[in-house]
Amino acid sequence: MRLHLLFAMPAAVAGLATHSDAAAKPAEMLTVIQKRLEQDAEKDSGASEKMACFCQTYLQQKESAVTQLQEELDGVSHDLEAQTAENARLHYELDDHRKELEEGKADLASATAIRERHAAQVSEDEKAHVENIGQLDGALTALGSAPGSDSGLALAQLRGGSRHSEVVRRAVAGLSTKKTSPDEIRGILKQMRANFHENLQDLRHEEATSAAQHDDLVHAKAAEIDALQHRVERKTQLAAAGGVDVARKHEQQDKSADLLQSNQRLVSAMQGACQQSEDSAQARKDLRQTQLVDLAAALADLSGTQLLAVTGGRRAHAGPEDLCLAGISLPTKELREAAHSACEQARSGRSQDAADAVQDIVDQLKTAQANATASAEQCSHELRASKDAAQEAAQVDQVHANVISSDKQTLEEQIKGVEDQAAGSEKAKTALAEAKQAMHGAVSDTAMTANSIADVTMHLQGRLPANVAGKLAAVKENSNKLKASALDFDTSLSKQVDSITSLLDASSRSAARLLIPLRLHRADVEEEEVDLHEKQHHSTALASRVHCDAAGLSGKAQQLGAQAEKLGTIAADLAYAALR
């Protein structure tokens, strides 16, 4: 229907130009222009709200993402420093353990070699003692126990067989040079045998003790070497895992920094576009307001109605056009339509009906103000409760977390955050395209209205009083300014949308690259969890977050109060006018 009215505008102007009532034709034309401006204002407001919604939703998301990424990068840098220091400590200790291990093995080999040489020597000594005892037993056997035994033969046997004992040789040589009776020789040999036997027993005892001590030393040294070997293997694994972790964190750091830079460029572009959209919307609103004021004044002058009766020191009473202007800024479509209907009643002279209708609007505004105030208070309460709950949940999580589950949870949050960024970028592209399309339609309507105003001004040239013609000329001038401003903004917005869309795509690509090391790290943590038999199945309850704006709701309540006060004054003035 609106599109039909827009395209029908030139025809409406032409129809007015052939109207039979010459006095009514200019007023009707200006009224059509006034309605057209009101329609454009409403459409422009809707398009601006789409852009504002985009900015409020997605700009805040990206700003939060930049802050979160910066915090995560700081955390990764801190982890890298700590892990690098830990790796250096591990390598230093590993070198010490390896040196101790080699020294322990060398000590064990040296002790074993010494023990083997000592055992060989003991074996030789034992063999000599056994042989000497055997020879002495043979000699004693040769001497026998009967008198008259041949002692010379026995000594000859000892001289021929005692190859291993210098003691035996010296003893035999001494006995051979003396005239010693066989009994004396027998006694000496028995003493010699007893000495050799005692020495053999001592030798064997010392050897057994030495062997036991060596075995104890070997066992202790082997246990020490085994412990060192275990420490070397464990710290080798830790050092290798630390190296992998450092490499992974470096990759994560580089790709996080790339995503951060992409988002920073995106935020900068979005901030510029949003600020320009806000400024341009306000400028267009001001120009339209000026146009409407000038049109209302032109209509009043043209009809001979004195809109502003000023008396000394008293406030000017509001009239129908004040109501029309005040109704444009009302917050809902229903209220704006009600205000427009009341405006038409006031224009037709039904001041009391208009006053009653305005009072109904005032009552609705006061009710809305009370609701907004209550919502603001409820929002503040929910924000405080949400903050307290989040702090309590964070404390509980910190107490019950362990290393593996903490790492896994962190990675899941990082992955989800990156995935949400990528998904948010796609949604932002859609919302931005819709805002661009809506704004382009509003700008097109604004340009068509400007052209229609130019046609009407040209058609009425020379047919209006000077004061009315001057106001209409001001309307045309502001209309041209509005048209130029809107077209310039539309062109600028189109370029900004293309740039922001490209940056959103770049952000999505950076997010996809960052997901690769994060997902690999998550797989490693899950594998470690299985290896350690610490499978934990738990769900992380995310603290509820309140997304209301207490300050915004308070501001809305104040705005509604101001509008109610203004319209209340207009209602009183209209009621007063009805009594005159």
pLDDT of residue 176: 53
Task: For residue range 385-416, list pLDDT tens digits in order.
Answer: 667 655 664 453 344 336 777 777 888 888 88
Burial of 400 (0-12, 13-18, 19+ CB in 10 A): exposed
Mean per-residue pLDDT of the chain:
77
**Residue 149 zone, left/alpha/beta (φ > 0; ψ -120 to 50; rest):** beta
* Mean pLDDT of the region 313-317: 50
State the chain's maximal CA–CA distance in angstroms.
Answer: 186
Q: What sign does the dihedral 9-13-18-22 (CA atoms) show? A: positive
Q: Which two tokens stand for residue 410?
A: 């962190």
Distances (CA, A) of 550 to 373, 376, 545, 561, 564: 9, 5, 14, 17, 21
- Give the angle subtended at the CA of 343 by the CAs of 340 and 344, to the nearest 5°: 90
pLDDT of residue 144: 65
* 58 DSSP 8-state letter: I
pLDDT of residue 307: 35
Neighbours of 442 (CB within 10 A): 24
pLDDT of residue 169: 55
* Mean pLDDT of the region 227-235: 82
Quickly tell me which residue has 């896994």 as its tokens: 408
pLDDT of residue 5: 38
Nearest alpha-carbon partner for 508 in 17, 141, 60, 65? 65
* Mean pLDDT of the region 524-543: 53
Backbone angles phi, psi at 331, to 5 degrees: -75, -25
Q: Is the pLDDT assigned to residue 306 strictly greater than 80?
A: no
* Mean pLDDT of the region 479-489: 89
Q: Is the pLDDT assigned to residue 568 strictly greater than 60?
A: yes
Distances (CA, A) of 138 to 149, 174, 257: 14, 19, 98
Burial call 556-570: b when 16+ CB within 10 Å, e when fewer: bbebbbebbebbbbb
Report the distance separating Cα 43 and Cα 50, nearest Å. Answer: 11
Q: How confident is the model at residue 236 (pLDDT cuts 50, 70, 90)?
A: confident
pLDDT of residue 414: 83
Q: How confident is the model at residue 60 (pLDDT cuts 50, 70, 90)?
A: confident
Q: Is the pLDDT assigned to residue 314 strictly greater than 60?
A: no
pLDDT of residue 551: 79
Residues in Cβ contact with 360 at an 8 Å cutoff, skipping those fewer than 6 apart: 338
Report the distance separating Cα 255 and Cα 332, nearest Å. Answer: 47
Q: Which has the higher per-residue pLDDT, 439 or 396? A: 439
Amino acid at 142: A
- Give the angle subtended at the CA of 575 by the CAs of 569 and 576, to the nearest 5°: 90
Nearest alpha-carbon partner for 249 in 17, 84, 369, 397? 84
Report the distance separating Cα 496 and Cα 440, nearest Å. Answer: 13
Amino acid at 306: Q
Q: What's the pTM value of the predicted model, to 2 decimals?
A: 0.49
Q: Which has the higher per-residue pLDDT, 540 or 35? A: 35
Window from 228-232, 303-307, 403-407, 442-446 with minimum mean pLDDT: 303-307
Amino acid at 50: K
Residues in Cβ contact with 460 at an 8 Å cutoff, skipping those fewer than 6 apart: 26, 29, 469, 472
Amino acid at 517: P
Q: How confident is the model at residue 437 (pLDDT cuts 50, 70, 90)?
A: very high
Q: Which two tokens stand for residue 287?
A: 């120009």
Window from 23-37, 183-197, 304-318 with minimum mean pLDDT: 304-318
pLDDT of residue 546: 56
pLDDT of residue 96: 87
Quickly tell me which residue has 């030789």 as its tokens: 124
Q: Is the pLDDT assigned to residue 211 strictly greater than 60?
A: yes
Q: Is the pLDDT assigned to residue 1 strictly greater than 60?
A: no
Task: For residue range 350-368, list pLDDT tens digits in order.
Answer: 888 888 888 888 888 888 8
pLDDT of residue 392: 62
Distances (CA, A) of 414 to 17, 72, 118, 145, 577: 68, 9, 68, 105, 67
Task: For residue range 155-175, list pLDDT tens digits in order.
Answer: 555 555 444 455 555 555 555
Nearest alpha-carbon partner for 333 in 127, 41, 580, 107? 41
Window from 24-28, 84-88, 469-473 with minimum mean pLDDT: 24-28
Strands (E), 206-287: none
- Radius of gyration in angstroms for the set of CA atoms belonging to the chain, rounded to a whole number: 54
pLDDT of residue 488: 92
Report the distance separating Cα 46 and Cα 50, nearest Å. Answer: 6
Domains of the chain: which residue ranges? 94-238
Contact at 8 Å (CB) between 282 and 482?
Answer: no
Window from 164-168, 342-346, 492-496 with minimum mean pLDDT: 164-168
* Mean pLDDT of the region 309-328: 60
* Mean pLDDT of the region 483-496: 90
Q: Is the pLDDT assigned to residue 287 strictly greater than 60?
A: yes
Window from 63-67, 208-212, 256-260, 510-514 with minimum mean pLDDT: 208-212
pLDDT of residue 3: 34
* 347 DSSP 8-state letter: H
Q: Is the pLDDT assigned to residue 310 strictly greater than 50?
A: no
Report the distance separating Cα 65 and Cα 487, nearest Å. Answer: 33
Nearest alpha-carbon partner for 274 in 427, 492, 553, 508? 492
